Amino acid sequence: MVQDPETQRWVAQMEAAALERLEAAAALQNDLATTTGVGSSADRGTTVTVNASGVLVDVEFTARALDLSPDQLRAAVLEAAAHAQTDAATRVATLTEGLPGAQDMRDLIAGRVPERTQEDLARELAARRGEPR
């Protein structure tokens, strides 16, 4: 057991900081689990909801959808889903904004390889091929 008051204070501060980070991580996990994105087709006949990962969780149709052909309905669902996925990605980006690696995470969510990863890969390939860097 540490007896030095200065050390005890430091340990208490570290424990408090660790607890704060754990609570923040738990809150972020909960926020991400409940995050959704919503998007609609241009004619507002179709509305789609996706989760934080962009997975479809709901589709709603108005009476306008009844007048669409199967191909038009498919296009409306895809259009609404794309808008919903963009909405969800924006919400996730906002939630994770201050985290280390957040930009890389946003790139991955958007389906892009992070720039740093592209640069690392280019250097590694050049080294393996014996090319100058």
What is the rounded CA–CA span in Å between residue 31 and residue 92? Answer: 9
What is the rounded CA–CA span in Å between residue 100 and residue 43? Answer: 40
- Sign of CA pseudo-dihedral 43, 45, 49, 54: negative
What is the rounded CA–CA span in Å between residue 84 and residue 59? Answer: 11
Confidence check: pLDDT of 43 > 80: yes
More confident residue, 14 or 114: 14
φ, ψ of residue 31 in degrees (nearest 5) = -60, -45
Put simply, whether the predicted model's pTM sits higher than 0.75 gets the answer: no
Q: Which long-range contacts (CB under 8 A, 24 or more apart) does 94-102 make?
A: 95/28, 95/31, 95/32, 95/35, 96/28, 99/28
The domain limits of the chain are 1-34, 35-129
The pLDDT mean for the chain works out to: 86
Q: What is the pLDDT of residues 84-123, one digit of tens each?
A: 999 998 998 888 877 766 666 666 666 666 777 778 888 8
Amino acid occupying residue 129: R
CATH number of 35-129: 3.30.1310
Q: What is the pLDDT of residue 1?
A: 60
What is the rounded CA–CA span in Å between residue 43 and residue 66? Answer: 12
